[in-house]
Amino acid sequence: MAEYTDLDGAVNDVPELSDSEDEEQWMEEDDPDHSDESVPCLFCNRSISSVSETFRHCQADHGFNVADLVRKHRLDDYGYIKMINYIRTTKCSMETLVSCSGDALPWSSDEYMKPVLPDDPLLQIDVEELTGDASACDDVSVWMQRAQRAEENLSRAMDDLHKLKVFVQGLVLNSDGTQKSAGSVAELREDEDEAYFSSYGHYSIHEEMLKDKVRTESYRDFMYGNTEVFKDKVVLDVGCGTGILSMFAARSGAKQVIGVDQSEIIYHAMDIVRANNLESVITLIKGRIEEVDLPVEKVDVIISEWMGYFLLFESMLDSVIFARDRYLADGGSVYPDRCSISLAAVGDTEKHDGRVAFWDDVYGFKMPCMKKAVIPEAVVEVLQPETVISEPTVIQMLDCNSVSLSGLEFTSDFILKITVNTQCTALVGYFDVFFDRGCANKVMFSTAPHCTKTHWKQTVFLLENPITVQSGEELPGQITVRKNKKDPRALIVTLTIRDWRQTYSVQ
């Protein structure tokens, strides 16, 4: 990403645009066979005078017929481009290419859309002219695939236009010295938001969530066990990811399901939906729910897996609330419909010594500044249930069908009833999720320490100094939860216990 320096001397990133603009450049290039530049062979170090001569050389000297491979796998322009870049990237053998079969081609990843060689003449040809296969143009499925890809490219181009608009707004606001409005600040954080969505574009995070049986099977059991909620209904899946909830809804009898997600994973979701023959029911849209146009005015049900660490980290519930207020029909419902956040006291002197007291004596040296840096960062981990030393207490209950944005920031007094004579070294936060409203078969799951672990784990707030407590004692406190103004997806949590007060960051 390139950089610019504004009038205040700050260095900023210029947003990169997607590869859709490269397609126009390829289309505008002259015929590569008339180029003065030589064409590097795909398999050896030889450079050849033209594209056609390069293909003849590949067949004569390496036994590789490009056109035959394109026909064999019915490659369109994008598949052909990926194949050429794959060969140049991996320097694979001709035998490897010829042995490829089935749908899982080694060059199917979008990473091979990026040219290996600048202005590679082999990428500037028309695949239909290469193969001379006019019958392929009559294949309806081929045309449908091309239309789908054209739609995806248009979506990328619209994203690029939005990035450019935000960038220009930044230049104007920084140059005239005017104070930024709340809306402008949100738009100028576009890069931060893109980083968030990019993290959900990678398959590994979705693999982790899908393998979380507590999470995924709870949604499945709710939908399959309450088909009356979904039968013949229009369903909106906010942040659909791989589309698993959308497919559960479709299998539960929904007549139409609309999945929306900003991350790149939605392109895989489109393939997944087609692979399961659900494309007639499920429509997937790339973009933020706040910005896209849905193909319907209202929906009957909104489903979403929006929960983050300590329930509210990531602020995705904000988007669900927007979708609810904008699209949910009268009498409709959001699921999950209720969530609660709980606290409990923790007594684990060994872990406290390892993380906090450790800095009092590091090989004979005091490092108090490190202790001050460690404590304010909440720790996300799987807590051993035996270290919980109090009864839990609910500090906040959210009704997803009525909660407002202001309700996501709160202050709550609490009392922890101690169950063990020990030292309190931390507090632990976790959440419970409920599928209740209108459900004949109610479903819930918990992320508490004594329950089956989930990918959310628990959120631990370390105390600087342990507090001695007795069984039966009631330990009073107060908690305040706010969004981090510098990073709205993160949380600022302030805990007060007796006369001790500490502010933590959940990020």
Q: In the predicted model, what is the mean pLDDT of residues 49-56?
A: 86
The residue among 134 and 220 whose pLDDT is bigger is 220
Q: Are 322 and 289 in contact (CB under 8 A)?
A: yes
Model confidence band, residue 152 (pLDDT cutoffs 50, 70, 90): low
* Residues contacting 433, CB < 8 A, separation 6+: 218, 307, 336, 338, 339, 444, 445, 446
Q: Which of 180-194, 303-317, 383-397 is the least confident region?
A: 180-194
**How far apart (Å, rounded) are the C-alpha atoms in residues 445 and 431?**
9
The two structure tokens encoding residue 69: 């491979």
Model confidence band, residue 31 (pLDDT cutoffs 50, 70, 90): very low
pLDDT of residue 408: 92
Whether the domain at 203-305 and the domain at 338-506 fall into the same CATH topology: no
pLDDT of residue 168: 53
Model confidence band, residue 17 (pLDDT cutoffs 50, 70, 90): very low
Q: In the predicted model, what is the mean pLDDT of residues 359-375?
A: 91
- 291 catalytically annotated: no
Q: Which of 237-246, 312-321, 482-491 is the least confident region?
A: 482-491
- Is pLDDT of 28 > 70? no
Residues 344-356: tens digit of each pLDDT = 999 999 999 999 9
**How far apart (Å, rounded) are the C-alpha atoms in residues 169 and 171?**
5
- Is pLDDT of 472 > 80? yes
pLDDT of residue 487: 80
Q: Are 468 and 385 in contact (CB under 8 A)?
A: no
Residues 260-312: tens digit of each pLDDT = 999 888 999 999 999 999 999 999 999 999 999 999 999 999 999 999 989 98
- Is pLDDT of 197 > 50? no
Q: Are 298 and 233 in contact (CB under 8 A)?
A: no
Q: Are 469 and 507 in contact (CB under 8 A)?
A: no
Q: What is the crossing angle of helices 203-211 and 265-275, to 10°?
A: 60
Q: Are 382 and 458 in contact (CB under 8 A)?
A: yes
Q: In the predicted model, what is the mean pLDDT of residues 102-121?
A: 81
One DSSP character per residue, 23-47 reads HHHHHHSPPGGG-SS-EE-SSSS-E
Select 203-305's CATH number: 3.40.50.150, 3.90.1150.10, 3.10.110.10, 3.30.9.10.
3.40.50.150
pLDDT of residue 231: 97
Q: Which of 44-53, 141-150, 396-405 is the least confident region?
A: 141-150
Q: In the predicted model, what is the mean pLDDT of residues 80-89?
A: 88
The two structure tokens encoding residue 324: 């609810």
Identity of the amino acid at 87:
I
Distance of CA 151 to the CA centre of its chain: 21
The closest of 313, 350, 248 to 457, measured between CA atoms, is 313
Q: Which of 72-86, 159-173, 243-257, 362-376 is the least confident region?
A: 159-173
**How far apart (Å, rounded) are the C-alpha atoms in residues 13 and 16?**
9
- What element of type H or E holds 425? strand 422-435
Mean pLDDT for all residues in the chain: 82
Identity of the amino acid at 248:
F
Q: Which of 61-65, 149-153, 162-166, 280-284 is the least confident region?
A: 162-166
Model confidence band, residue 164 (pLDDT cutoffs 50, 70, 90): low
- Is pLDDT of 175 > 70? no
| Cis omega (within 30 of 0) for bond into 121 | no
Count of C-beta atoms within a 10 Å radius of residue 248: 22
The closest of 352, 359, 363, 298 to 328, measured between CA atoms, is 298
The residue among 59 and 147 whose pLDDT is bigger is 59
Domain ranges of the chain: 1-20+143-188, 31-138, 203-305, 338-506
Q: Are strands 234-238 and 256-261 parallel, antiparallel or unpaired?
A: parallel
If phi > 0 it is left, if psi is from -120 to 50 it is alpha, else beta; for residue 341 that is beta
- Is pLDDT of 2 > 70? no
* Of 129, 290, 314, 473, catalytic: 314
**How far apart (Å, rounded) are the C-alpha atoms in residues 358 and 353?**
6
- Is pLDDT of 60 > 90? no
**How far apart (Å, rounded) are the C-alpha atoms in residues 324 and 421?**
47
- 129 catalytically annotated: no
The closest of 394, 390, 359 to 467, measured between CA atoms, is 390
Select 338-506's CATH number: 3.50.50.60, 1.10.3720.10, 2.70.160.11, 2.40.37.10.
2.70.160.11
Scored b (16 or more CB within 10 A) or e, 47-80 reads ebebbeebbebbeeeeebbbeebbbebebbbbbb
Model confidence band, residue 50 (pLDDT cutoffs 50, 70, 90): confident
Q: Are 89 and 57 in contact (CB under 8 A)?
A: no
The closest of 433, 438, 435, 491 to 212, measured between CA atoms, is 433
- Is pLDDT of 473 > 80? yes
- What element of type H or E holds 145? helix 140-176
Q: Are 401 and 334 in contact (CB under 8 A)?
A: yes
Q: In the predicted model, what is the mean pLDDT of residues 215-224?
A: 96
Model confidence band, residue 106 (pLDDT cutoffs 50, 70, 90): confident
Q: What is the CA radius of gyration of the chain?
A: 28
One DSSP character per residue, 199-251 reads HTTSHHHHHHHHH-HHHHHHHHHHHHH-GGGTTT-EEEEET-TTSHHHHHHHH
pLDDT of residue 115: 86
**How far apart (Å, rounded) are the C-alpha atoms in residues 461 and 59?**
66
Give CA separation, 392 vs 329, 443, 503, in Å. 37, 21, 21
pLDDT of residue 51: 85
The residue among 314 and 15 whose pLDDT is bigger is 314
* Of 24, 111, 194, 305, catalytic: 305
